Structure 1
């Protein structure tokens, strides 16, 4: 007698539930996606005991036809697709027809629904069986409640983490839904208390404020880019606002939240040198594309996707974020910290523009009148006898149309400053007047908006980084060798070096294979300045051979950061006025003068308003 047989339907559903229903948040995701596919404009989610006791979703969508009620909990029963061809252009969030069958197999489900011009009904389905099927009250839309999750699969309960973790997963799912659909009003409540509620007015920035707070929403920058195949829209957050992991990079394709490592990495790459390496940006981006270019039928969770023309999309995303960052002045402001007070209701805010500090008093600002310095050779008695005649310097507002360009002297002895390309058309830095130096480390500056502090080491590090990065693989004649160097490597290394000879030539080496294990270098790039270039060349070739995915640009970047840090002026190094002027001038020529290559700020700003608040000159 044969031993192969088909498993009963209820066992099949329990097996499928292991993939679809991993935890309470999986159920929330599947049910809310069904509500969105039903074109709901209001979706309310009520959670009890982190979803282990009850999950209730109420929507005002199209509802379910009375005739379809008996197919709701059948496997692969769906209204989303009809033909196999439609799998290659999925236009809905759900399409597998597995969710309700899997959920009903491991919990008790109560479902009430009504479609226009149809009979309202109520179904109770528990552990894979119908318990009740009756006509119900008229209410357009659907109410579904899932109770006693995993009551008949106790082994699954052992893998459920603590309730706080499960609640966090649900919140994460609902936040991403709200970000992807700002035109839908979402409400999430835990144990009778609202966690958040969105208005559904279509304003994404308002949703960001509700979910992440005013610090994030006030620092958002709009992103917009388009190519023949892709359209990117949404917001990124200024680099001074960071997080410790990449989970705050919210990406969606056709309003579907997706996890895509390469796409997230392209966003991170756009912030390169603008944030510390152990910090990550916040982003809220949606990519619109032809459904034929994306495959969502990869995993039951429908979060992992495969993309056609992936390289094109990665380049477009990185370029769009870079453009948004480069068009903005990224000098962080030092804000006055208010003492904790009683909680008050948040007033309504206009999210169409970035929230700005009140600066009404700035309009009458004039820089302080400074006395002309007395020559050091004069005695104290001569200085005391001379009449006090302060000389007021004429001040021109540099922000007016006819204001002259600031002229700054070239230094005489400033250490190793480099020449740059001509200034770009758009000034990156505002007009700044140097006042002095603090502890031989920070340069104090001012303009009509307040006080600025510049880290001299970080400033020169940025200057040198950009110069070295531009020139480290710049085409030149290199350094020829009268007697070429010959290197010998192991057989293991030979295989990879043979594959990467082209990459070595790209970074300036004239290298050829001269034997079974030997390579001859007749020329090496001029940016190798070590006392013993032979040793450096050998180390570099070994490094490339041991790197699986050697990237010329990444190596170029790492070398630039290391060289710029070593060559820049350090703290406690006192500069004269000409040297400080020259440093500021060179910094203004940089492509991104706001951070050093390690992501630390170069300049910070404290507004006059904040300074006067600290001295209680403004009681607000």
Structure 2
């Protein structure tokens, strides 16, 4: 069979198969052209989910009568001049494929006018070339796309329902509106306005836009971030508090130089920052903007331009993870307390330790060690102020919810009250009830102490290694052959983790030194889990990842258990430490460490003022 040159129309239809997947793809390409044209007002109108009509109007630079017909020619663009320009692309579009591809599978009309011109021009594809005629039009460009896929019925039959297709269009415009805050957007469907967003001029405007596009729930639970690397990288945007994480990955937006992207490296960096603060099967939500020298990022790696490639991916990954680590670590009760818990489906109902049987709780009590937060009254007073019971003739004995004793402060004495308030009582041996000036706080004592211990172990490990203490009687631990191999290979890492153990037989080890904070923990089980974790990561993996997982397990083993009775001073000291602990809002497994209920919430609960 002889080789033939494909007709231009057929070649464009083949190209459209990559560029124009559905109506939302058309909207994406046209909106990106409008943004590249400098528009600060863009209106998108669609009918019947975009299959009947897509109209995108902007107030950008527009085109004159000479450039307008060229815009419909294949590979015609004003954004590239030579091959070297591909290495420093700063625009959203650049290939010159979108308009001819769209025109090949629809009835397209382009009307445009430059501000310096008195008359616009209307252009439409024709059999002998573009048809042109004068047209009245304000400065800017309007592109109308009617009867999408009318000449490619195989593609048209794969379109979904009108509602589904419009949902994809709304998502495209939502992304564009997040990435171009300084541009006003209007989206209308079947002559009804879906949303209308003014251009952002001040910080409050950007907050309102984020709330409008991602929901009030996101806005109330988002942490704002701005971080400069000092060497050309800048990250800004919003990330969700771990307690408000979602059950699906539907609110994850990342922009590189205003371009919306889906990139594994960027997603992994975000996931790593949330690694030990998310509950199982929960996902972070975010809208993040990375600014980088265009020469350090290649955007010409996929037809849809959703993927990018960085010249130094490790540097980008490390910067993003570090920036988010700092942002999440800086959240303290005083900044997060007023953000209500997410209403997204559970695990909101499980805000403390996982419910267990009475027998398992008794087992915990039998193996727990000291809390590690008990302080002499004088030292406590010097650090945190006078204890609540001091000067009132009260004992510092553990209290129950039924006999809480006097309040730590009376109404009108709230000045200088710490963010988590002062402890009133211990409830069911598991929770600490605290009063704040504007409500109450309930703290899961095990989850809170788990995070405190974990963060302390992490600091020690990365600074100098965890302090070890010799055991009076070494602990004998039976191990598998694989565990024995890891014990021999990773001895140095184990010592930095606070464990010194020697082989005492073919399948047996002796623990001679253990972390000073964990002497009362089940050291045999801890050693086995540590060796299994090191084996899973392998010697080639960064030791920090394995160490953090091990330290999280150590934090759990060394934390105060359910039914551990605490004095008032111990409870208050735990609250003060939690206030100063990074990521103090969640335990190592992602569960909340405390819940705050304001007086307004309590009033609504009891129908006061109704």
- TM-score scaled by length of structure 1: 0.74
Change (3 A) 1:542 1:61: closer
Cα deviation for residue 297 of structure 1 reads: 0.8
For the residue of structure 1 that corresponds to 2:66, the secondary structure is: helix
User: Does 2:286 match 1:297?
Assistant: no
Change (3 A) 1:442 1:206: same
User: Does 2:533 match 1:543?
Assistant: no
The one-character-per-residue Cα deviations of 1:442-485 (angstroms, maximum 9, x if unpaired) are 2111132221111122122223323444456826789999xxx9
| Alignment equivalent of 2:581, drawn from 574, 586, 590 | 590
For the residue of structure 2 that corresponds to 1:235, the secondary structure is: strand
Change (3 A) 1:237 1:374: closer
Question: CA–CA distance in 1 between the matches of 2:70 and 2:542?
Answer: 54
User: Does 2:323 match 1:313?
Assistant: no
Contact 2:121–2:135 (CA under 8 A) maintained in structure 1: yes
User: Does 2:93 match 1:94?
Assistant: yes
Contact 1:459–1:593 (CA under 8 A) maintained in structure 2: yes
The one-character-per-residue Cα deviations of 1:179-203 (angstroms, maximum 9, x if unpaired) are 1111111001111111111101333
The one-character-per-residue Cα deviations of 1:57-111 (angstroms, maximum 9, x if unpaired) are 1111111210123322211011111111111111211110000111111111122
Question: CA–CA distance in 1 between the matches of 2:199 and 2:148?
Answer: 30
Instruction: Give the equivalent residue in structure 1 for 2:502.
Output: none
Cα deviation for residue 572 of structure 1 reads: 4.9
User: Does 2:546 match 1:561?
Assistant: no
Unaligned segments of structure 2, at least 5 residues:
344-387, 398-404, 498-505
Count residues with an aligned counterpart. 530
User: Does 2:208 match 1:206?
Assistant: yes
Cα deviation for residue 154 of structure 1 reads: 1.9
Instruction: Give the equivalent residue in structure 2 for 1:414.
Output: none
Contact 2:332–2:580 (CA under 8 A) maintained in structure 1: no
Change (3 A) 1:507 1:122: farther
For the residue of structure 1 that corresponds to 2:212, the secondary structure is: helix
Instruction: Give the equivalent residue in structure 1 for 2:121.
Output: 121
Contact 2:149–2:155 (CA under 8 A) maintained in structure 1: yes
Question: CA–CA distance in 1 between the matches of 2:488 and 2:256?
Answer: 39
| Alignment equivalent of 1:275, drawn from 242, 255, 278 | 278
Alignment of 1:111-510 (within 5 A): 111-118=110-117, 119-125=119-125, 132-202=131-201, 203-226=205-228, 227-330=230-333, 331-333=336-338, 400=415, 430=419, 432-470=421-459, 474=465, 505-508=492-495
Question: CA–CA distance in 1 between the matches of 2:429 and 2:556?
Answer: 18
Instruction: Give the equivalent residue in structure 2 for 1:409.
Output: none
| Alignment equivalent of 2:571, drawn from 561, 576, 580 | 580
Cα deviation for residue 140 of structure 1 reads: 1.7
Question: CA–CA distance in 2 between the matches of 1:264 and 1:270?
Answer: 10
Contact 2:220–2:340 (CA under 8 A) maintained in structure 1: no
When structure 1 is superposed on structure 2, of 592-601 and 97-106 the one drifting more is: 592-601
User: Does 2:76 match 1:77?
Assistant: yes
**Root mean square deviation of aligned Cα:** 4.2
Unaligned segments of structure 1, at least 5 residues:
339-366, 377-389, 407-428, 511-517
Contact 1:87–1:297 (CA under 8 A) maintained in structure 2: yes
Change (3 A) 1:468 1:336: closer
Change (3 A) 1:374 1:68: closer
Question: CA–CA distance in 1 between the matches of 2:114 and 2:458?
Answer: 63
Contact 1:43–1:59 (CA under 8 A) maintained in structure 2: yes
Question: CA–CA distance in 1 between the matches of 2:207 and 2:599?
Answer: 28
Change (3 A) 1:289 1:110: same
The one-character-per-residue Cα deviations of 1:320-364 (angstroms, maximum 9, x if unpaired) are 2333333333444586999xxxxxxxxxxxxxxxxxxxxxxxxxx
Question: CA–CA distance in 2 between the matches of 1:571 and 1:488?
Answer: 35
Question: CA–CA distance in 1 between the matches of 2:393 and 2:48?
Answer: 73
Change (3 A) 1:275 1:141: same
For the residue of structure 2 that corresponds to 1:240, the secondary structure is: helix
The one-character-per-residue Cα deviations of 1:339-398 (angstroms, maximum 9, x if unpaired) are xxxxxxxxxxxxxxxxxxxxxxxxxxxx99x9866999xxxxxxxxxxxxx999886988
Contact 2:469–2:513 (CA under 8 A) maintained in structure 1: yes
Change (3 A) 1:75 1:594: same
Question: CA–CA distance in 2 between the matches of 1:532 and 1:612?
Answer: 47
Instruction: Give the equivalent residue in structure 2 for 1:384.
Output: none
Change (3 A) 1:114 1:291: same
- TM-score scaled by length of structure 2: 0.75
Question: CA–CA distance in 2 between the matches of 1:61 and 1:38?
Answer: 5
When structure 1 is superposed on structure 2, of 193-202 and 272-281 the one drifting more is: 272-281
Question: CA–CA distance in 2 between the matches of 1:161 and 1:605?
Answer: 44
The one-character-per-residue Cα deviations of 1:99-148 (angstroms, maximum 9, x if unpaired) are 0111111111122111234452222337x775843221243211111111
Contact 2:49–2:166 (CA under 8 A) maintained in structure 1: yes
Question: CA–CA distance in 2 between the matches of 1:532 and 1:448?
Answer: 43
Change (3 A) 1:588 1:204: closer
Cα deviation for residue 50 of structure 1 reads: 1.2
Cα deviation for residue 230 of structure 1 reads: 1.1
Change (3 A) 1:504 1:246: farther
